Structures are given as C-alpha cells and as structure tokens.
Structure 1
Amino acid sequence: MPDDQLTTDGANRAGSAPPVRPLDPIDTAILRLLRTDGRASVRSVAEQVHISRANAYARINRLIEEGVIRGFSARVDHERAGQGASAYITLKIVQDSWRSVRAKLEALPGATHIALVSGDFDVLLLVHTADNRALRELVLTRIQAMPEVLSTRTLLVFEEQDLLPGR
C-alpha cells in the first residue's frame, strides 16, 4: 500500500493527524487539570478525576498523540519578566500573504499569539515588550516595514489575566 493511502481505521500512514473525535467528560476534566497545573503528576490527575493511574496515563498519552495536547508550558507574568508593555496589534495584509506574514511575525521578539481573523483586519498579534519605546520600535521598524503589511493598529493592554477552565 502506498504511504499516502488511508489505513482501515482512516488514519494516514504518511503521518497525518488521526481523525478528530469528541472529548468525553473525563478527557475534559484531565485537560482542565493540566491547564491549571501542567506539572501535575499522573497520580494526582487520576485521583482528581476518579480513574486508575494506568487509565490516566493512557488517556494523557492518547491526548498527546492525537494532537489535543500540543505541549506543556509555563504561564509567564510578563511584567515581572521585564516586559512591562503589552499590546494587541491588528494588521491588514496583502491578500494571499498570510503564510509569509505569519513566518515573519513568529520571528518577532515578544510575539506570543498570532491569529488569522475575519472582520475589519486580517491578523491579530499579541506582543510583550520591555516598554512603550520598544513597542514603538517593533511596530514602526519591524512590522510596518513588511511589504505585505498594508496597515496596523495598536491597542495597548492596561491589564491582563489568563483565564483558566472552570472559572
């Protein structure tokens, strides 16, 4: 069978993601716990969702293999980390330039979230910089210098709070 053909369960042997399937309440509870504390032990997760440790371990591994869990990371207090200025920057870009713009934006210092959106602008970018001077430099000399960027609008963030599931 050629590498790009589907197997009997619908998975692609060439390495594509498995088919999407809905999460059950236990999977949802596991995700909520891991988003709150990505360092939680399998034993702790199992106890809190009332399943065996082996079941918790298998479920977490399946969620990783299926791409539901994309990784584990630390939640950063940007101000305490020396990034006292935060802003959402909206961009209007040249049609069909999303992939190249995304690659350039990903490389920017302080860029933490990028989204292709619909509406009055095309891209929403969240950045964290040391101060407003660094933010100004980032917008004026890096972002607006990209030939695919038609216009930008900067929205300063005065206060922010990460929201966790179950709140």
Structure 2
Amino acid sequence: MIDLDDMDRAILRRLVQDATIGAGALGRELGLGQPATWRRIRRLEEAGVIRGRRVVVDRAALGFGVTVFLGVKLATKGRVSLEDFERAVTAIPEVQVVQHVLGLFDYRLRVVARDLADFERVLRRRIMTLPGVGQVEANVLLSEEGRPGPTG
C-alpha cells in the first residue's frame, strides 16, 4: 500500500474524470509543474494504484442496447471444474465480465445483446449449454450511473 497525500488524491480524481488529460494540463489545473505531475503519475503507476487507462465504449451506439446481469449457480461442482466453466464462458463474446462470487450464485456475468430476442438466443444457445450450468437468474439493466470510486 502506498501513502497518498492530498495532491495524489487530486491527481487521481482528475484522471478518473478524464484519463486523456496530459501531465502539463493537469499540473496547471492543480498548481504543479509538468515534471512534478508526471513524476507523481509515474509513481502511482509503479505502485499499482493506476493500473491503466481505458476507452469507454457506448454499447448502445454499437447496437448493443440490452445489458443483463446473470447469476449462475453450477449444478455439479464436483464433476465440472471451475476452470472449465470459466474457460468456456469467457469464450462467449457477449459475456463482458465474469465474476466468481460468494453467495447464492457461483458466478455473476455481465452480458450484452442487441435486444431481448438476441439475449434469449445467447442465453439458450451459448450460456445454458456451458458445462455444469444449473440455475440461472437474469436481471436486465434499466439504467446505470457512473461512480468513479474512492480517491480519498
């Protein structure tokens, strides 16, 4: 764990808002010089606090208007290894996130589809045929609010 001061937290908050901002512009906003800002960003990256920068794609603009969260309970844990299930489910392009969880279900999946009919096709032909799948519960995403997460 790395000790963060107020300036580190301000840098993180700003990068969460816009990861494309350069060190010079960020430094000007925060009252730091470009070299000092760059050194702080680099230190945060090397410490693993910043693990990368990413592009956020608008799924609806690409024609994927439905997002569904699936809870998946494996029917026979002893006969099908978790690794076999994980390998098979991650090969499905519509499955965006696979989370092994503790609770009522063994896995939580984030699945995108063009519409509900497309989701039904993915569910029936791809997900329900995976090794070991038992109970499945679907929750359709109605809206989503972005939360940047803790930065202090």
What TM-score, normalized by structure 1, do the two folds share?
A: 0.75
Cα 1:56/1:99, change in 2 over 3 Å: farther
User: Do residues 150 (structure 1) and 134 (structure 2) align?
Assistant: yes
Counterpart for residue 88 of structure 1: 69
Q: Distance in 2 between matches of 1:153 and 1:112?
A: 17
Q: Report the alpha carbon displacement of residue 22 of structure 1 after superposing the two structures with TM.
A: 4.1
Structure 2: where are the runs of 5+ without partners? none
Counterpart for residue 50 of structure 2: 69
| Aligned with 1:49 (options 30, 34, 56) | 30
Structure 1: where are the runs of 5+ without partners? 1-19
Q: Distance in 2 between matches of 1:154 and 1:143?
A: 12
Q: Distance in 2 between matches of 1:81 and 1:59?
A: 36
Contact 1:144 1:151 in 2 (8 A): no
Identity across the alignment (%):
27
Amino acid at match of 1:81: L
Q: Distance in 1 between matches of 2:107 and 2:4?
A: 29
Cα 1:26/1:113, change in 2 over 3 Å: farther
User: Do residues 32 (structure 1) and 13 (structure 2) align?
Assistant: yes
Q: Distance in 2 between matches of 1:106 and 1:31?
A: 31
| Aligned with 2:125 (options 127, 133, 141) | 141
What TM-score, normalized by structure 2, do the two folds share?
A: 0.81
Q: Distance in 2 between matches of 1:67 and 1:100?
A: 30
Question: CA RMSD, aligned part only?
Answer: 2.3
The superposition leaves residues 96-115 of structure 1 with CA deviations (integer Å, 9 ceiling, x where unpaired) of: 84444333333321333232
Higher relative contact order (CA 8 A, sep 6+): 2
Cα 1:105/1:22, change in 2 over 3 Å: farther
Cα 1:108/1:43, change in 2 over 3 Å: same
Q: Report the alpha carbon displacement of residue 165 of structure 1 after superposing the two structures with TM.
A: 4.8
The superposition leaves residues 70-114 of structure 1 with CA deviations (integer Å, 9 ceiling, x where unpaired) of: 221122222122101111011113268444433333332133323
Q: Distance in 2 between matches of 1:103 and 1:62?
A: 35
Q: Distance in 1 between matches of 2:4 and 2:133?
A: 39
Q: Report the alpha carbon displacement of residue 65 of structure 1 after superposing the two structures with TM.
A: 2.5
SS in 2 for 1:121: coil
| Aligned with 2:59 (options 48, 62, 78) | 78
| Aligned with 1:110 (options 94, 98, 112) | 94
